[in-house]
Structure 1
Amino acid sequence: MIIAVIDGMGGGIGSQIVTHLRQELPPHFEIYGLGTNATATSAMLKNHANKGATGENAIMVSIKKASVILGPASLVIPNAMMGEVTPRIATAIADAEALKILLPILPDNFELVGLENKPLMLLIKDAIGILKKEFNIK
């Protein structure tokens, strides 16, 4: 199974997701660290993503192979992350067949109603719990 972790900016969220996936999942799961920029990709590779790729085309091609896409919800908002999420990236992620597990981290001018405000670490643990439940991983 391939899990695509996508992040931008400095890659801090993506690198934390990769770290927790490595701790929680069996080693045969393949993790792709896909960055909207090289810094984000590098951060995920340093935290032991199996493969890394950078940029719009790399993200669009790589997510076709993924069973799961993990990252901040801003990935499906065109021009989010200070313009790093292109409209084509947002559309490709939204249209992908993969299960999308998105953390409620959004641009300042977006609010989601009804969500509990949790620290990032708990959001990541919740996301991994959903992944494990969906694919019957113990």
Structure 2
Amino acid sequence: MNIVVLDGMGGGIGSRIVGILKEEIPPYIEVYGLGTNALATAAMLKKGANKGATGENAIVVNAGKADVIIGSIAMTMPNEMMGEVTMRMVEAINASEAIKIYIPILPENNYIVSLEEKPLLLQIREAVALIKKELNL
């Protein structure tokens, strides 16, 4: 069983997700840190991701093998994160049969109505609790 954490740019969100996951889930579940760039991947590995890989192809290949995918909702929007998110990545993430959990951090001038604004740490903790519930942990 594996959980894929997606992030780009500096890897700040992904590294926080990895850190909390590693505290909350059993050690037999592997956490993969997949970054759109090497900095994001390195940040997730530093926080304890079991494996890490970088770039479009790594995300495309591993999204199809994931049991759970978690990351910013911006990872489902082509050209976001300053152009780091490609159409191939978005297609692979959306086509994956994995459980998908999105942190509602949106690019500028994008909104989702009816979501309660909460601090990032609380959103990540809620996402990890949802993963545990979905995996019966």
Q: Give the TM-score taking structure 2 as reference length.
A: 0.98
Per the alignment, residue 4 of structure 1 pairs with: 4
Equivalences for residues 31-50 of structure 1 within 5 A = 31-50=31-50
Per the alignment, residue 121 of structure 1 pairs with: 121
- Structure 1, unmatched stretches of 5+, are none
Per the alignment, residue 16 of structure 2 pairs with: 16
What percentage of residue pairs aligned between the two structures are identical? 60
1:62 Cα deviation from its structure 2 partner: 1.1
For residues 105 and 66 of structure 1, what CA distance do their matches in structure 2 show? 22
For residues 5 and 24 of structure 1, what CA distance do their matches in structure 2 show? 15
Equivalences for residues 85-96 of structure 1 within 5 A = 85-96=85-96
Aligned Cα RMSD in Å? 0.6
Aligned residues: 137
CA contact (8 A) 2:68 2:100 kept: yes
Question: Is 2:46 the partner of 1:26?
Answer: no
1:51-101 C-alpha deviation (Å, 9 max, x unpaired): 000000011011121100000000100001010001111111111110100
- Structure 2, unmatched stretches of 5+, are none
Q: Give the TM-score taking structure 1 as reference length.
A: 0.98
For residues 44 and 85 of structure 2, what CA distance do their matches in structure 1 show? 17
Per the alignment, residue 80 of structure 2 pairs with: 80
1:3-32 C-alpha deviation (Å, 9 max, x unpaired): 000000000000000000000011111000
